[in-house]
Amino acid sequence: MASATLSVNLSALRANYQLLKNRHAKKSIASVVKANAYGLGVAEVSKALAAEGCTLFFVATLDEAMELRGTLPKADIAVFNGIFKGEETEFKAHNIIPVANDLEQGDRCQVAGVRKYFVHVDTGMTRLGLSETDIGKFLSQSPIPNPQPLLLLSHLSCANDPAHPKNAEQLLRLKEAQKYFPNAPVSFANSSGLFLPDEYHFDLGRPGCALYGINPVAGENPMRHVATLSAPILQIRELDRDESVGYGATFEAGKNARIAIVGLGYSDGYFRSLSNRGVAFIAGHKVPIVGRISMDMIALDVSQVPASAITENSRAEFINVGQTVDDIAEQCGTIGYEVFTRIGRRVRRIYTES
């Protein structure tokens, strides 16, 4: 297969869903599939999660929701970014649930007849959501007496650090907000939040990254590896003289070195910052990236790999069980979310059961 591929193990995805569901105090979770299911492919991912019993999916935008609706015609789909002027008809027509993040969105839901909506309260993330002052105004200014959303939600900012005092602060603030909406179920725990004590779980968990194998906790990853990034070997060069490799001549290879040129680059989302310091795997052998990563190609030094171990079907793996998405993220000073979501569209997504 002469293209870079992201191979998604649906069996591992489903196992992660069940693990997270069992972590929740009430065994109740939704799935966050925004950003094309964190880059893994929303159609196949969401179908697999629905087959596991998931009935509620969160995305970021109305466009994402409408795309998902084509895959899951009967599922509940909620939009984190909420409902904006002119979108009311689409939300109603496609049975999409907006998350009301401010007073205008709350009024828009009620005035436009979008009765099915969630309310987001800000408990200290300082991102989207109603402030404590806004909650009072929402209730007093509502055109509908005593409005009760289908779900009250907030978002933990430091759940990956169980000892962080922000967790307890946000929990207290959420409980205060809950008094204004006594009949609404509550969603608070994200992926990391599901590993906090049960008092953080409320009625519904809302995992995202952990579904896809990204580590939600400090220390050993409890999740199964889901996605493997590989690319074809386009050519192997055996040098007949000392030679530089790549743009800028930043690496010098010696005579008789064997250099594999692989069809992956920064246009596919692989980090150029890993030039001359990242590694890949070929036939189980760890090999260094040499020279600068270019738009479409990466050079690997395979001098230490037996020539017989590399066949015409061999591929270089850049994310696998031996070098996870979190490992790549650590090398690049980022997080696994960014690694997955930046993988480009021309990287072919394929789906397996093992």
Q: Is 34 a catalytic residue?
A: yes
Q: Which of 137, 247, 255, 286 is catalytic?
A: 247
Q: Which of 34, 117, 200, 266 is catalytic?
A: 34
Collapsed DSSP state (helix, strand, coil) of residue 84? coil
Q: What is the rounded CA–CA span in Å between residue 134 and residue 131?
A: 5
Instruction: Return the DSSP state at 194.
Output: G
Q: What is the rounded CA–CA span in Å between residue 271 and residue 323?
A: 14
The closest of 172, 183, 106, 94 to 140, measured between CA atoms, is 106
The closest of 120, 121, 68 to 95, measured between CA atoms, is 68
The closest of 243, 265, 269 to 256, measured between CA atoms, is 243
User: What single-letter amino acid sits at 51?
Assistant: A
Q: What is the rounded CA–CA span in Å between residue 36 and residue 262?
A: 26
Collapsed DSSP state (helix, strand, coil) of residue 261? strand
Tally Cβ neighbours within 10 Å of residue 98. 27
Residue holding tokens 């969630």? 118
Q: What is the rounded CA–CA span in Å between residue 335 and residue 211?
A: 15
Q: What is the rounded CA–CA span in Å between residue 247 and residue 104?
A: 52
Q: Could you please report the per-residue DSSP string of 96-137?
A: -EEEE-SHHHHHHHHHTT----EEEB-SS--SSSB-HHHHHH
What are the catalytic residues? 34, 247
